[in-house]
Amino acid sequence: MKVLCVVSHPRKDSLTFKVADRFVQGLAEAGHDYEILDLHGIGFDPVLKGIDEPDWSAAEQTFSPEVEREIRRMKEHDALAFIFPVWWWHLPAMLKGYIDRVWNNGFAYGSNQLHHRQVLWIGLAGVSREQMKKRNYDETIAHLLNVGIADYCGVNHSRVEFLYETLDSDAKHYEMLLHQAHDLGLNYAKEL
């Protein structure tokens, strides 16, 4: 399987990128091909402009060259993974803008839906599992991503995995998080 791994973090030396590296190492060991898409690295513009606004009256719509390029990239992959920090109990603005612009009407929903077999959302949370559950943030975020986005766009196999307490600077804890990321890559397609 060929997996597009979309990473959203402004710093290449972040734990988010270390998690992405270990995740794709697991994918490769399981026999999958992958591509890492660094949204900040390519200078992706997350702001939705008029040319990329969904046109509900058009049977087919042409988008900006940047969005058309990302649509072509998505079409080259069988499955998706998103690796990102959880900021304000949500996706970072860069990643939300990517979905707003690229997962557009006529490509991801509407007259066509995504062809991808599955999507995995790996959210790095600074808080503990207990803090995340306290007000059902974990369930709310999972429902939004699995149902509100993935299922709406035709991807039935979607799941959210949180890596907790990412602000803990203990080396053992970081290694545990990286081990979890590796296992997620190694076992990516086993539930299909």
Structural fold of domain 2-186: Rossmann fold (3.40.50)
Written as one letter, the residue type at 158 is: S
What does the pLDDT read at residue 130? 96
**Rounded Cα–Cα distance for residues 33 and 21 (Å):** 13
What does the pLDDT read at residue 37? 98
Its pTM stands at 0.96
Domain range summary for the chain, segments of one domain joined by +: 2-186
What does the pLDDT read at residue 55? 86
| Biggest alpha carbon–alpha carbon distance for the chain | 55
Taking the CB of residue 20, how many other CB atoms lie within 10 A of it?
26
**Rounded Cα–Cα distance for residues 61 and 82 (Å):** 26
What does the pLDDT read at residue 192? 58
Asked whether 53 and 106 are in contact (CB, 8 A), the reply is no
Tell me the two tokens of residue 107.
Answer: 């490509």
Taking 50 as the pLDDT cut, the residues of the chain under it are: none
